[in-house]
Amino acid sequence: MSVDTILLKGKPVAEAAYERLKPRIAALRGRNVIPGLAVVLVGDDPASAVYVRSKTRAFQNMELVSETYNLPATTTEKELLQLIDRLNDDEHFHGILVQLPLPSQINSQTVLERVLPLKDVDGFHPDSLGRLLAGEPRYIPCTPQGILEILNHYEIPTARRHAVVVGRSTIVGKPMMALLANKWGRGNATVTVCHTSTPDIAAHTRQADLLIIASGQPHLVTREMVSEGVDIVDVGVNRVPDDSPKGYHLEGDVATDDMLGLAHAITPVPGGVGPMTVAMLVSNTVLAAEISSGAAS
Ligand code: NAP
């Protein structure tokens, strides 16, 4: 039997999120507070530069403050930590984002932990992750938070379902599994997590009612690996070289077309999760401004 697969596009969900933020931003303006984000970009990784530009554009569209600090690839850890200290003390910036990956001479964890927890709008600081696990989240990492918004918007249930998460990074997989397994919010799923030491991921993905894939492996999950009616969130953004003028195209961790007629719903790549990650960064920065101005706790 063939089903009409629903495309879970991120743009309308992101637009709805921006609309909900507008009155909160207006209220902050009324108190002379304009939410501000400092973005730190080290080196010249082209994909990172694209991500930073799209984040900056979102802040400009909402007439918020966003300043990017471009540092050379040779920057030392000490120099980067000194900049983070300055940004921690700068009250114009309610949030600080350190674009990953960082060059190999810099310990990413040391840098992420130097950001003040109150300015950790990416949600990668142990304080933010610990709060999430304790059921008292402050800043939820942007991509998993955005995925929950997509599920909410398209009324894809999580409770009483089997969710399979492929990937266990701190950025996507781990916070995603915590959110889905939570007793509060959009959780109450039974969660299985797969990674490179899972002997047969297809044995798990076939059991999924809801499949979240964040492996960074183009087209890792194929039609034969899922069951009819599954809801799929494809987080992967992979640059695959080709003969086009750009020299590459983007592919997800799933071939979207492969799943049409089989899955109940799927996020496209590009245009699915990506817009939500940016919208949730704006949302977390607005929350940070509210906290620092006493309008939220
Ligand atoms: P990551 O840190 O590289 O983690 C990848 C995870 O997938 C790891 O846990 C790894 O397992 C697992 N994995 C890799 N190959 C696998 C395989 N063959 N079978 C099973 N598990 C496998 O990546 P990430 O930061 O989580 O990002 C994942 C993808 O999402 C990337 O394509 C990234 O570009 C994309 N992404 C998109 C957005 C967005 O806004 N759309 C945001 C963030 C990330 P091990 O732990 O065992 O190594």
Pick the CATH number of 35-119 from 3.40.640.10, 3.40.50.10860, 3.30.420.40, 3.30.2310.20: 3.40.50.10860
Distance CA 257, CA 240 (A): 17
Q: State yes or no: is 122 an active-site residue.
A: yes
Atom 39 of ligand 1, residue of closest alpha carbon: 274
Q: What is the CA(63)–ligand 1 centre distance, in A?
A: 32
CB atoms within 10 A of CB 228: 11
In the chain, where are the structural domains located?
A: 35-119, 140-275
Domains 35-119 and 140-275 share a fold: yes
Q: What is the pLDDT along the chain (297 residues), one digit of tens a residue?
A: 688 999 999 999 999 999 999 999 999 999 999 999 999 999 999 999 999 999 999 999 999 999 999 999 999 999 999 999 999 999 999 999 999 999 999 999 999 999 999 999 999 999 999 999 998 999 999 999 999 999 999 999 999 999 999 999 999 999 999 999 999 888 999 999 999 999 999 999 999 999 999 999 999 999 999 999 999 999 999 999 999 999 999 999 999 999 999 999 999 999 999 999 999 999 999 999 999 998 877
Q: Which CATH class is domain 140-275?
A: alpha beta
Atom 13 of ligand 1, residue of closest alpha carbon: 215
Ligand 1 atom nearest to 197, measured from its CA: 47
**Could you give the 3-state DSSP secondary structure of residue 205?**
helix
Omega of the bond prior to 101 within 30 degrees of 0, cis?
Answer: yes
- Among 119, 120, 122, 209, the active-site one is 122
